[in-house]
Amino acid sequence: MLALLLALLQWWRRAGGWLLAQGLTARHCFMLLGGSGFLWLNGMLARTVHHWAGVAFMPDALFGSQILQAGLAMLWALLGLVGMVVGHRRRYRLLWLAGAGLMGLVVVKLFLIDLSNTATLARIVAFLGVGALLLLVGYLAPVPPRQPQLESVEEQP
């Protein structure tokens, strides 16, 4: 897997100029890279639960796994925290908003899926972990300011 990531990084370095010449902006490329990384991390977590917890690698079994559901909540919350902190530090509002959206998705997932499916211990761990991360992000990463918009100057006749 590491070799694949290194190969993708090398491809990105060589093909980056070509992608930009095709009309894709760096913003689009980073969004595609972030989405691919998010899916890859979720798949890696599902594989880890499959191997270490003995859960069958089938969608129904994985979706019903309390360990995977708690792990997904923590992974998404951690990724949201990282996105919000990095977005705040670099004053990149879109990244901060993506992290906040992911944190909102975690809260919705906790109430809709985890509250009804998980056992008491997994539910407690997920709620306390996500709550602690929400408190931490509120302290470390407030919303970055909006970029100043250039006001259009209308010509006076």
pLDDT tens string, the chain, 157 residues long: the values are 677 777 877 777 777 666 666 777 777 777 878 888 899 999 999 999 999 999 999 999 999 888 898 899 889 988 998 999 898 888 888 888 999 999 999 989 888 887 776 567 777 777 787 788 788 878 877 777 777 655 544 545 4
Distance of CA 95 to the CA centre of its chain: 10
Q: Which of 96, 74, 95 is nearest to 141 (CA)?
A: 96
Q: Read off the pTM.
A: 0.73
Distance CA 34, CA 53 (A): 28
- Give, as one character, the DSSP assignment of residue 113: I
**Domain boundaries of the chain, sorted by first residue:** 25-140
Q: Which of 94, 97, 116, 93 is nearest to 105 (CA)?
A: 97
Distance CA 67, CA 73 (A): 10
Q: Assess contact for 90 and 147: CB atoms under 8 A.
A: no
Q: What is the pLDDT of residue 128?
A: 84
Q: What is the pLDDT of residue 55?
A: 92
Distance CA 97, CA 103 (A): 10
Distance CA 33, CA 119 (A): 35
Give the dihedral of Cα atoms 16, 17, 18, 23; nearest 10 deg.
100
Q: What is the pLDDT of residue 127?
A: 79
